[in-house]
Amino acid sequence: MLLPKENQNVSDSHPIPSEGSGSGIKIPILFGAVLALAGASVYLYYQLGQVRDELNTTRDSFAAEIAKLNETSTVSTQTSRRSVDSLKDQVEKYRSQAAQLSGQAKVEATQHADELAARLEKIQQEQGKQVAAVSTEVSAVKTEASAANTRIGEVSNEVGTVKTDVAATKSELEKTIADLKSTRGDLGVQSGLIATNGKELAALKALGERNYTEFKIAKSKAAQKVGDITVRLEKTDPKRNSYSIVVVADDKTVEKKDRTINEPVQFLLSKATQPYELVVNDVKKDLISGYLSAPKVQTTRN
Of the segments 11-15, 105-109, 218-222, which one has the largest average pLDDT value?
218-222
Q: 16 pLDDT band (50/70/90 cuts)?
A: very low
Pick 39 or 234 by higher pLDDT.
234
CA torsion through residues 99, 105, 109, 111, sign: positive
51 pLDDT more than 60: yes
Domain ranges of the chain: 38-176, 183-295
> What's the pLDDT at 288?
96
| CA pair distance 85, 188, nearest whole angstrom | 108
The predicted model gives 98-115 an average pLDDT of 70
The predicted model gives 121-126 an average pLDDT of 76
| CA pair distance 197, 24, nearest whole angstrom | 7
CA torsion through residues 174, 176, 179, 183, sign: negative
**Fold exhibited by the domain 38-176:** Helix Hairpins (1.10.287)
Pick 132 or 231 by higher pLDDT.
231
> What's the pLDDT at 18?
40
Pick 236 or 96 by higher pLDDT.
236
> What's the pLDDT at 15?
42
Q: 210 with 204: CB under 8 angstroms? A: yes
> What's the pLDDT at 211?
92
The predicted model gives 104-117 an average pLDDT of 72
The predicted model gives 211-235 an average pLDDT of 94
> What's the pLDDT at 168?
67
Burial of residue 236 (CB within 10 Å: 0-12, 13-18, 19+) is buried
Burial of residue 217 (CB within 10 Å: 0-12, 13-18, 19+) is buried
> What's the pLDDT at 260?
94
> What's the pLDDT at 7?
38
| CA pair distance 150, 152, nearest whole angstrom | 5
pTM: 0.45
The predicted model gives 102-125 an average pLDDT of 73
- Candidate from 5-14, 31-40, 94-103, 279-288 with smallest mean pLDDT: 5-14
111 pLDDT more than 60: yes
Q: 17 pLDDT band (50/70/90 cuts)?
A: very low
> What's the pLDDT at 293?
93
> What's the pLDDT at 213?
95
| CA pair distance 146, 233, nearest whole angstrom | 72
Q: 20 with 201: CB under 8 angstroms? A: no
Per residue in 133-189, pLDDT (tens digit) is: 777 877 777 777 677 777 677 766 766 676 676 666 666 666 665 555 555 555 555
> What's the pLDDT at 42?
76
The predicted model gives 270-293 an average pLDDT of 92
Using CA atoms in the order 104, 105, 109, 110, what is the torsion angle rounded to 10 degrees? Answer: -40
The whole-chain average pLDDT of the chain stands at: 74
Asked: is 183-295 a CATH 3.40.50 domain? The reply is no
% of the chain with per-residue pLDDT over 90: 22
Per residue in 252-276, pLDDT (tens digit) is: 899 999 999 999 998 888 888 888 9
% of the chain with per-residue pLDDT over 70: 62
